[in-house]
Structure 1
C-alpha cells in the first residue's frame, strides 16, 4: 500500500453477496489483520499503483536537451513535434509543450502535459 489509510481516507460503501463477508473475515483472521486491511490488501494486489520507469524520464530529458540545443526556434518546433510523435508511439502519458512565457534570457520554457486520452 502506498500510504497508510485511516478514518480520514476515502470511503466507499459496497454491497457484498451472501457469504462473502464471512470469507473476507476468515481471510482477515488468517492474515492477522482487520477486514478493512484485508480488503485493501486484496485491492492493492489487483489494482497496483502505476509504476514510474526511470528510463522514461531519461528519455524525456534527452528529448528536452535535444530540443533546447536546436539553433533556431523553428528547429525547436520541429524537434518537439518529433519528440511528441515518439512519446505517443511509445504510449507515454505525457506530451512536451512550450509555455507562452519565456525565462529572463528570453528562452521559451518547456513543460510536460498529460497526453489526450491518457
Structure 2
C-alpha cells in the first residue's frame, strides 16, 4: 500500500501488503482483527488434528448484506457514517477512509454503496 516504505506485513483479509506505519493506520476499528503476517515468515504449522473440518453451528437468522445496513459507522475512523461496504475487507467505510484504504492491489476490491 505504501509507495515509500518497504512492505513488511501481508494482510490476508485485505489481500494487500503494508509497511509498519500503514499497517497500523489501516488496521483500526473492526479491521484490527485481520490476519496479518510478517513478509517472509511462514504461519506456524498446525497439527493434523487442527486441520480436521469443524462442525459449523446453524445460525438462527441469516446475515443481512452490509449494503442493507443503515447508519453504519466507518470501521476505520469509527467517527463518520459508512458509505460503502467492502466484502474483501469485511468492513464498511466512509468516503475518505474508503479512498485511503483502497489503494494499491486493494483498489480492485468490490465495494457496494450502502443504501443502494
TM-score range, shorter chain: under 0.3
The structure where helix makes up a greater share of residues is: 1
> What is the TM-score with the length of structure 2 in the denominator?
0.22
Structure scoring higher RCO (CA < 8 A, sep ≥ 6) equals 2
Q: Return the index of the structure with the highest Cα Rg.
A: 1
